[in-house]
Amino acid sequence: MILQNEFEWYLNHQNELVKQYSGQYLVISGQAVVYSSESKEDAYQKGISSIGVGKFILQLCTPGTEAYTITYHTHRVSFKPTLHA
């Protein structure tokens, strides 16, 4: 998975990063914070201009898992199969 190492690095260092960057958006490339900002748009633009598209992750730095975990709750759904000619 592309950029998986950057995300794993963030997870492994999340507690110490939160102490320094809590509530900020981090531009992470390799195993380092390259830039941080309170603005997601600012951090994203800085990442693109200084590192390049597809070469960094943009991560909101907060404690816990809420900034990178999504939970879906759905009702049971039934679909009627259809035949396509």
**pLDDT at 58 (0 to 100):** 96
**pLDDT at 80 (0 to 100):** 64
φ/ψ bin of 30: left (φ > 0), alpha (ψ from -120 to 50), beta (otherwise) = left
Percent of the chain with pLDDT over 70: 82
Whole-structure pTM over 0.95, yes or no?
no
Q: b/e map of 58-71 (b: 16 or more CB within 10 Å)? A: bbebbeeeeeeeee
How many structural domains are present in the chain? Answer: 1
Non-local (6+) Cβ contacts of 13 within 8 A are none
The domain in which residue 85 lies consists of 1-85
User: Per-residue pLDDT averaged across 33-52, rounded?
Assistant: 97
Q: Specify the pairing of strand 25-29 against strand 57-60.
A: antiparallel
Q: With a cut of 90, say whether residue 23 has pLDDT above it.
A: yes
**pLDDT at 82 (0 to 100):** 63
Q: Tens digits of per-residue pLDDT, 51-74?
A: 999 999 999 999 999 888 877 666
